[in-house]
Amino acid sequence: MAKLELLQTLTGHKGIVWNVSWHPLGKMFASCGEDKIIKLWSKEGEHWVMKTVLVDGHQRTIREVSWSPCGNFLASASFDGTTAIWDKKSGQFECNATLEGHENEVKSVAWSPSGQLLATCGRDKSVWVWEVAGDDEYVCEAVLNIHNQDVKKVAWHPSSDILASASYDNTVKMYKEDQLDNDWACIATLQSHESTVWSLVFDKTGKRLATCSDDKTIKIWQEYNADNQEGVIVANKDSIWKCVCTLSGYHTRCVYDITWCHTTGLIATACGDDIIRVFKEVDNSDPNAPSFDLICTKPNAHSQDVNCVQWNPSGNQELISCSDDGEIKVWKFTED
C-alpha cells in the first residue's frame, strides 16, 4: 500500500497560504500568501522551522514564489502588479529588483532552466518574458498577449527555453523565441479542457506535460516531432502536442495544482475537495496512450482547499502542501 504520512504541520501565515516552493537542493522552501509575507523554512534536526521572514516587498497578496535554478534568487509574484527579486548578496535576503509592467494581479512567476530568463503572467491576460541583464537588472524581452482570459500559471520546459502558460480561457499555450528575428511567438495551443486550466508541469524529459483544471480532470500531453515513428502528422511545424491521457472521475472539485516528480515519475495533485492524490503510470503502459493508477488518496489533507503541492526536487519522496486553511504540511510518501 502507498501512503502519505504527515511529518509536520507548519503555521505562521495569517490567512490563505497560496504557494510553496522548494529550493533546488531540497533543504529549504519558501511560502507565501494573503498576509503579503514570504517565509523561508529549513530543517533543524528532524523538524522544519521558520528561519527568515521577508516583508515590505509587496503591498498586496503574494500569489507565488519561485527559486532560481542556482538557488541564489527568489522571485515573488503579487496581486499588487509587481514581481520582486530577492537575494542575499548583502548576507541576508533583500528585495533588490522589482519588475513592473502588468496592469494588475501577477499570478505566477517561473525561472528558465538556464536562470537567464524569467516568465510572469497575470489577470491582464498577458505573459511576460524577462531577461537577466546584469546585477539586479531585468529587461522585458516580450509581452505575449495570446490568451483571451486571465493567465493562471507559467512553467518552463526542463532543459530548453520553451515556455508554457495555463489560462482561464481553458487552453495552454507554448512559446519559443524565433532564432532568426529574436521575437517570441506562440508555437502551440493545447485545447481539450472544458474549463479553466489552473496549473501545468513538465515531466523530467520535457516531452510530456501534465495539466489540471476546474473541469476536475488531469490531462497528459505528449510532444511529437516531425520525424515521429507513430505516424502523427506534424504539418509545417517542428512538433505538435497531443493529449494522450485524461484522468477523470477521481477529483470531485477543481484541481488547483499538479506536481510531477522528476525522480520517481509520480504525479501529485492539490484539489478543492481538500484531498491530495498521488498517481503512478502503469508499468509497461503504451507511451502513446498511457494509463495512470490512483495509488494514494489523502482525505482531509487540509481543512480547506489545497492550493499547491510540490515534490522535493532531491527525490526523497517528501511532498509539501499549503491551503486556504493557513497551514503548510510536510508529507512523506511511501510505497510498500
Whether 272 contacts 305, CB under 8 Å: yes
pLDDT at 235: 85
Among 99, 100, 92, 82, residue whose Cα is nearest residue 36: 82
Whether 128 contacts 175, CB under 8 Å: no
Whether 85 contacts 98, CB under 8 Å: yes
- % of the chain at pLDDT higher than 90: 95
List the beta bridge partners of residue 40: 30, 52
d(CA 291, CA 158): 23
Q: For residue range 188-246, what is the model confidence (pLDDT) as tens digits?
A: 999 999 999 999 999 999 999 999 999 999 999 999 999 999 989 998 888 999 999 99
pLDDT at 1: 87
Reading the block at residue 149, the C-alpha cell is 482570459
pLDDT band, residue 182 (cuts 50/70/90): confident
pLDDT at 166: 98
d(CA 207, CA 4): 28
* pLDDT for 248 beyond 90: yes
Q: Dump the DSSP string for 182-222.
A: --EEEEEEEE--SS-EEEEEE-TTSSEEEEEETTS-EEEEE
Half-sphere exposure in the Cβ direction for 50 (13 Å, CA): 14
How much is the CA Rg of the chain, to the nearest whole Å? 19
Whether 251 contacts 217, CB under 8 Å: yes
Whether 93 contacts 39, CB under 8 Å: no
Other beta carbons within 10 angstroms of residue 265's beta carbon come to 14
pLDDT band, residue 12 (cuts 50/70/90): very high
d(CA 210, CA 202): 6
pLDDT at 151: 98
Q: Dump the DSSP string for 78-97.
A: ETTSEEEEEE-TTSS-EEEE
pLDDT at 336: 80
Q: For residue range 126-152, what is the model confidence (pLDDT) as tens digits?
A: 999 999 998 899 999 999 999 999 999
Other beta carbons within 10 angstroms of residue 131's beta carbon come to 15
Whether 66 contacts 23, CB under 8 Å: no
Q: What 3-state DSSP class applies to 58?
A: coil
Is residue 213 packed enough to be buried (19+ CB in 10 Å), middle (13-18) or exposed (0-12)? buried
Q: Which letter, b or e, does each residue of 32-67 get, where b requires 16 or more Cβ atoms within 10 Å of its Cβ? A: bbbbbbbbbbeeeeeebeeeeebeebbeebbbbbbb
